Structures are given as C-alpha cells and as structure tokens.
Amino acid sequence: MLRSVFLLNSLGLALGGTILWDGRFNDMTSSTELDNWSWSDETGPYQYYIHGTENVTSYVNLDSTFKNPVDTGSTQGVKVTLDSTSYWDGQTMRRTELIPQTSAAINKGTVYYHFSMQRTDTNAPSEFREHQICFFESHFTEMKAGWISGESGTSDALLRWDVSSATQWNTTWEAGVWHNIAYAIDFDAGSVAFYHSTGADDLVLTVPAVTVSASSNGADWHLGVLELPRDGYTDATEDIYFSGVYVESSDLTTSVSGPGNTSASGVASSVSVASMSAPASSSVVGSASTVSSAPASTSSTAATVASSSSAPSGVTVSSSADTASVSSTLTPSTTLSTVIVPPTSTSTPTDPDDDDDCE
C-alpha cells in the first residue's frame, strides 16, 4: 500500500500543464527591455504599446518584492501604474497594458490563463472608477474593480470576476492580499471557468464553466488595467501588482509556484473533487445581473489517474480563507495533490456584448 502511494505521488509530481507562453518576467532584468519590442521587431514575451507618453518606468516596473512571495516559479513581479499621463492614442481612458507576444496556440482548445494580483494601501486603485483588469478584447472574461459604470452609489470596494460584463464572483479587495487566478477557457465548447485562491493556497474551482462566446486572435489578452473616466473625480496615481503570469494547456497546475515548482499539494490526479463551497468572505453570483452576498456551492470532477490504491476524497473550501484540504484514507502522512481539468460545456455559445472600451 505504501509503495502504491509513493508511486502515485511521484506520478502526480511529474504531471502538470504544458506552458504555451511564459510571461513571468524571469528572463528580464529591467522593464526597459519592453522598449525593445516594436511591430517591426517583435522581440521578447510582451507587446508593449498601450501606455502613456512617458518612459516605460513611469508605467511598468519589475522587482522581486512585486511578486507573491510564495511563488517560487517567479523571480520577480510587475508593478503596473496609472498616472496623469497614462492616456493612450488620444483616448479618454487611462491604460497600461501588456499583451503576450507569441505564436503559440493560446487561443485554441482548452487553455488556462494564470496570474496573481494584489493592491496595497499605497497608490490604491480608486473605488470611484471602473477598472477592467486582465481582459480579452471582447471582454468575455475579465477582472473588475471599483465603481462599475451605471451602478447605484458612488463607490465600490469589490474585486469581481465578470463574464461578458456580468459578475459571477466577487470579494472585498483588501490591501496586501494576493489573489491567485486562472481562467479555464474552452475555446471549442465556448465556456470559461474561474479558479481562485489567496496567498499560498492552491487554486480551487470557484465558479464552474459559464457558457460564453470565447474568442481570441492570440494577441488580445491584456495584462494590466484600463480605467474608465468619471466626471467629478480627478486622476491619482494607482498601482496594481502581478506575478505568476503564464498560459498552459493539458492539465491545470493548482500550485501558486506553477509547473515545475509544485509541492505535493500542488499537483496530483486520482482525487475526486466534489461539493466545493464558496468561502463566506467571497460570493458566487447566482444571477448574471445581480451581485449576491450569499455564497453558492459549485462542483466539478477532477482528472483521474487509474490506480488500485486511489480513494474518493472531499475537497472543502474553508470559510476563513480560500483553502482546499484533500483528505485521504490511504495514509495520514501522505497528501495527494490535485491537477484539475474543468467541466466542459456543451451549450451553444452566445454572442458577447459589444465592446466600446478597447481599441
């Protein structure tokens, strides 16, 4: 029995996603290297053209303190800044965005877009303006923060996950908390699921697959932030931090450290993921038009590796944090890890909302 468990864990550690595009900044020494990219010389991991008129260091900076500290797969993170000059191409929106420079198939089949993000109390994004974060051109999936245009009230402290401008999940965006996120996109079936955790915790399925018209040309996912203007509110300098940015295929890597840097709790198969509940500190939205304050339950099925020693296990998200604990009847001293394949959708995709916010 013990040997079977050892072999299963060894297999789990060997599994994980295939990185299609790596945007973790590990090969960069300075953000000034982004200036090497141009339409005539498409070098480096990112296209850099959506920004204001000042030098790159006014808008994008790299440092080891800018990353999730438990992300051992990243040597540094990025600070993305909006200031009074962050107007691009004559638009009225403030924007600082990076776009993957790759010919890899990051827009085909089932792929996973990974990133971690946080804010601090210094140069915090305004709660009085809408921020569109880590979005595709059609906005079929994105993060949002701040007061959403058209909503009641004057401010909003929530961080949201939206599908075609309908909020599916939200939580209070607190300073100093790293939110680890993966969009699980099935471009063939037309769906997107949301994986999330905080701090050092492994990703868990938080919202199962939502039917959507998922489309991309492979060069229209924006790492960064677009802020909509609002009368009566002046510009202030704002910073958002990102790390652990990459796109993978095959299986989903749940460890914050990413493929090749996972612990025993970060990659595995043969564990059934059942009856996942959203934590009390965040909300899964039951209606596309209503933000609910009550948590909802979701469920999915994990990828399975055949093994005579495998046993079904429950995965529960605690009410105090986005944590997932895997219990096993095999041995108390062994922790099985989880490589998760999201549920697929067979529903007919719907057309996305018209997009007036992007170029």
The domain locations on the chain are 19-249
- 308 pLDDT exceeds 90? no
Check residue 112 and give its pLDDT: 99
- 246 pLDDT exceeds 70? yes
Check residue 284 and give its pLDDT: 81
Interior CA angle at 58 toward 154 and 235, to 5°? 20
Position 16 confidence tier, pLDDT thresholds 50, 70, 90: low
Interior CA angle at 148 toward 146 and 152, to 5°? 110
Position 317 confidence tier, pLDDT thresholds 50, 70, 90: very low
Question: What is the DSSP annotation of 130-154?
Answer: -EEEEEETT-SSEEEESPPTT-SSS
Residues 132-190: pLDDT tens digits?
A: 999 999 999 999 999 999 899 999 999 999 999 999 999 999 999 999 999 999 999 99
Q: What fold characterizes domain 19-249? A: Jelly Rolls (2.60.120)
Check residue 256 and give its pLDDT: 96
Question: Region 119-124: what's the mean pLDDT?
Answer: 99
- 357 pLDDT exceeds 90? no
Q: What is the spatial distance between Cα 274 and Cα 293, in angstroms, rounded to a whole number?
A: 23
- Predicted model pTM: 0.74
Residues 6+ apart with CB under 8 A from 23: 45, 46, 98, 100, 223, 245, 246, 247
- 340 pLDDT exceeds 70? no
CB 130 within 8 A of CB 150: no
Ranges 6-15, 114-123, 150-159, 230-239: which has the least confidence: 6-15
